[in-house]
Structure 1
Amino acid sequence: MPRRELEEFLAELTLRLLQVLRSEPFDVRLGQSVGTDLVAAHIASPEGLGRTIETIKLRLAQDLELTGPELPTRMARLLGAVAAGYSRALRDRTLDEQEQIRRAALVAREQAELALRESEARFRYQATHDPLTDLPNRTLFTQRLSAALDRNGKRDRRIAVCFVDLDGFKVVNDTLGHQVGDQLLVSVAQRLRKSVCEHLVARLGGDAFVILMEDTTCT
């Protein structure tokens, strides 16, 4: 805070305390709000609180027009209330800041864990799916076939594997280009998936596809 603003702020606090000292009945609790305002304005550090209170005390002594034996006691109690309000407000602010830091750390950790899980899931998907057609690839097909064979050995159910390739696909690639060939593969993949939606359709590579049918009655 600039020096001029600091002077104006301390003058305002001194006036408030002066009004408290002059008030009847004398309510020392009003001094605690001054301590709270010191923390809110970042005026005094814990080490500098004593010097700040001494400054306010000198200002009070200069402006005071009160007499009586109870005045020193009132001033001591009032300045003590300022210190108490300051300490409580500083503790509360510290606890709030620590809670904010804890919550921020918790949110950051949760976001990092979520990003890690999403990254792992994405890598697992990419490792088991064909990038062109988005069909399961040879790796996933092999895993599913092994699992189906294992289950078939424990239950009296049939499985079927159908291999599909495209006649003349090389001609399409050679004459019309790889871009058209890729479009053809994507179209075939979509049609196969729609035709046997309850079964696994995978791309083995090139124009080779395979369909795994589990629990089938076909012969």
Structure 2
Amino acid sequence: MVNTEIVLIDRPPDDRTSVSTQLLHHLWEALPFGIAQIDTDHRIVFTNDKFDEITGRADGEHLADRLDRVRPADQLALDKAVRTVLAGDDVEIELSMTRPHLGVRRCSAVLSTLVGRSGYGTTGALLCLTDITHQARQRDEILHLAMHDDLTKCLNRPAVLDALAAACADDTGVAVIFIDLDEFKAVNDTYGHAAGDSLLVSIADRLRQSTRNASIGRLGGDEFLVIARNVPSPEHAEHLGRRLARAVRRPLHLCGTIRPSASVGVAWSADPHADPSALVARADAAMYQAKRRRHAHVTVG
């Protein structure tokens, strides 16, 4: 008969706590994104190495010290997000920061509220920071392609109409300038479609060079729409339309020298409740009135 005595030896509580702490530390360091824990006074409680790597800061007592490279345009959003999460609501934002030798980096920041053991009362927050610069660039490129005409790089029809709607809502004076090239079909027939494409590209460049802070759109074919903000009067809008018509008429070397021309119609409004479609229709009607005169004149509708 064999007697067996089993003796269980417990580790001291502090040893178990130490093992748990080390495990948690290794887990946090293994995460592919940065983590910072702050208290209700915005003081740093903990950061992992990835957070320090992304921010380029490994010192500083407060969160603001670690995120002092956030660009000014995003600083207000960050401050608001921190206030919101410490008030008990989780937040997700994007922000940009400038890193020496790395340039501007785009980051996703997810802020989560930390509460006490009873489940009540905010004790601080966790901030998870991910460098999404590459993804953001891809997203911006896709968005740019979706909003722009492949040939002229102008805004496409939906995008320029969206720009008009925003201008109508925000500004005190909006000029809508409808431009239709004269005899564009003759250029295609005489010189070929490649020459016609070159003409459209040149006209788009001239419109951009002749305006400041305006949205240039190609509606299709040989039609362009220019949306100019902060235009104080119909007279100023007409003046801009005439300037664009003169820019279009400059001689162009394209399989020989040609002198393009355009019929231009202008509509203006200072009504924040103006119907964008109605403004385009007015500019379109004014353009056709100019075209019927067989001149590259500007007509205000």
TM-score, with length taken from structure 1: 0.47
Larger radius of gyration: 1
- Output the TM-score relative to the length of structure 2: 0.35
Higher relative contact order (CA 8 A, sep 6+): 1
